[in-house]
Structure 1
């Protein structure tokens, strides 16, 4: 899989929204409290194959910069576990051999969480869809149009099914031949959570972490929450909604981030039941207590009917914002908010 897949949610708008969380006014001047927090120490770069940003509020700038280095080290450590394009990663070795002895604890934990979300969503989130990506990619490399063909994809679908993964501390094993796992629909959220928790254990109280999913820690002031934006897919500079985050996370999925054909109709968001690569929604954003949950559910909801999403939102502590296709209704940029 190419690194383009990991940029699929760059339109989230967190960079624009969090950098301007208090408008153009400097942070210390915007806060009314006498013990106003300092200007954020900001890091911008590339993480997990995409643009990333961290904003830390700490009175000691040197200490904040040390914390950023710790965070970057944690990102690099976890990339060695979850990457699909590092030959030495644990995930690549699992996919290559069909089993992995003495797997890293993070891989066992995240695969277990991925399977739990698969059960919650009725299989719409399924980490074993990697063979579908390979099938579409192979057709493209052979010069064939990457159109959805239910009959042709049937053999690939028989290699998919989270129920066929055995996960134990001693070994992870596939029970079907030629299976393969991708964690790109959840790993960004998981790594965001691990970085946030690392910073918390180091005593940091206020931060915004954006590694493709956004998670806030604390808030800049008593009445100044962190904010993240949901951007218009075809005009990322325009925000459709600004979401407040109080020790919460926001993730957005949109198929246009990695189209598989020139028209953009086929995407990297695969339906594990049918093999289709056409999500129902133009974009889906989920706010949750942690980025792992927000990431996984935004991926699954992209393929689910509104009624099924409502069933989950009614019993699970999350909120969702759905952007319908332009051909549904007169206002193609009106978000449907489910809470």
Structure 2
């Protein structure tokens, strides 16, 4: 929240890759078939690495990816007045919604149900309340009053999101949604699909969430560096991944005021900011799942993680507490195909 999907710049790529884009590998490890793009997308630095025998085809595929990013952002963005999401929030309904919006909102409801409501895209009125409060020069440091929070909470609840193929609407006037906790993952998955269908058997896409399939061209796994959520310029841990995605949520992604007490990870049950963890990273089969679960698990007891991961298709969650200790929970994927 804040800038569109800016809260996720907590993943950087080890072994030749940084959050600012893919850096050249050492000459001895470089592959002439590994094509790299780095730039800006979705409000932050982004990078794509693909293994393809033909440079012209690789360039064309990357152009297709960038066009698709722009198209999807025109649907999901909170900061483009003409986007489908902005029109829905403004009018309270949207007739003839884009099919991608219907698909993603249906996914949102599914994740809300799997997490007992911890994941809830209807928290946007809460974000607006805190943003308006702290935009005042005389804003009390303790945040909005409890009465104001309670009034806004009446507008929060995923069961008030009415989704049909030809119409999306809110049950109450004043409701609004944000897709900043899932759209980045959804777009990352779409980019991976384009590249895979284009004949790329080795891909690493970093659009704030990371999706990898295949291996690095030299045969090893893709290496992902997880930044310390308390000091994002430092790598705390490196993961090896194949055919998986990684996403991280952390309180330092966007903060209201200067105390650090109020941030974008808002609890739909209490209206307050999550305080259990400094950050949560999730490894899952796809970036949409990793994105949604990393958001939800910041609000949930760690003991719930195994159930949620297993039900949703997540393989691992890493919880870093406020003093920097990290604990790992794993999902049972034996029942998932």
Q: Tell me if TM exceeds 0.5.
A: yes
Looking at structure 2, the residues matched to 158 and 17 of structure 1 have their Cα atoms a distance apart, in angstroms, of 48
Shift, 1:229, TM fit:
1.3
**1:260·1:266 contact (CA, 8 Å) conserved in 2?**
yes
Q: CA deviation at 1:25?
A: 3.2
Q: Mark the CA change 1:153 to 1:17 in structure 2 (over 3 Å): closer, same or farther.
A: farther
Instruction: Give 3-state SS (helix, strand or coil) of 1:219's partner.
Output: coil
- The equivalent of 1:209 in structure 2 is 205
Check whether the contact 2:10–2:249 (CA below 8 A) recurs between aligned residues.
Answer: no
Q: Is the 8 A contact 1:150 1:275 kept in 2?
A: no
Check if 1:187 corresponds to 2:178.
no
What does residue 5 of structure 2 align with?
Answer: 6
State the SS of the aligned residue for 2:74.
Answer: helix
**Hey, what does 2:302 align to over in structure 1?**
306
Q: CA deviation at 1:59?
A: 1.9
Structure 1 residue 222: Cα displacement: 7.2
Distance (whole Å) between structure 2 residues aligned to residue 74 and residue 64 of structure 1: 15
1:126 lines up with 2:127 in the alignment: no
Equivalent residue, structure 2, for 1:337: 328
> 1:17, 1:285 → 2: CA distance?
19
* Matched residue, 2:333: none
Contact 1:18-1:226 at 8 Å conserved across structures: no
The structural deviation recorded for 1:316 is 4.3
SS class of match (1:153): helix
1:238 and 1:118 map into 2 onto residues whose CA distance is: 32
- Structure 2 CA distance for aligned equivalents of residues 224 and 253 of structure 1: 27
Q: What root-mean-square deviation, in Å, do the aligned CA atoms of Structure 1 and Structure 2 show? A: 2.0
1:200-255: per-residue Cα shift (whole Å, max 9, x none)?
11111111100110001211247401121111123333221111111110000001
1:138 aligns with 2:137: no
The count of residues paired between Structure 1 and Structure 2 equals 324
**Contact in 2 for aligned 1:127/1:162 (Cα 8 Å):** yes
**Are residue 294 (structure 1) and residue 293 (structure 2) matched?**
no
Distance 1:282 1:204, change over 3 A: same
Give the equivalent residue in structure 2 for 1:250: 246
User: How do residues 55-204 of structure 1 correspond to structure 2 at under 5 angstroms?
Assistant: 55-142=49-136, 143-145=138-140, 147=143, 149-204=145-200
Question: CA 1:18 to 1:284, structure 2 compared with 1: closer, same or farther past 3 Å?
Answer: farther
Which residue does 1:25 correspond to in 2? 26
Equivalent-residue separation in structure 1 for 2:159 and 2:228 (angstroms): 36
Contact 2:51–2:217, Cα closer than 8 Å, also in 1? no
Aligned twin of 1:46: 40
Q: 1:17 to 1:337 in 2, by over 3 A?
A: farther
Paired with 1:172 and 1:161, the residues of 2 have a C-alpha distance of 15
Q: After the TM superposition, which of the residue ranges 276-285 and 245-254 deviates more from structure 2? A: 276-285
Deviations 1:281-333 (A, max 9, x none): 1010000000000000000001111112233235443210010111xxxxx2x
| TM-score normalised per structure 2 | 0.91
Q: 1:304 to 1:18 in 2, by over 3 A?
A: farther
Q: CA deviation at 1:280?
A: 1.4
SS of corresponding position for 2:280: strand
Superposed CA offset, 1:89-140 (max 9, x none): 0000000010000000000000000111001001010010000010001112
In the TM superposition, structure 1's runs of 4+ consecutive aligned residues that sit over 6 Å from their partners are: 20-23
C-alpha deviation, 1:23, in angstroms: 10
- CA contact under 8 A between 1:84 and 1:92: conserved in structure 2? yes
Q: Which runs of 5+ in 2 are unaligned?
A: 331-337
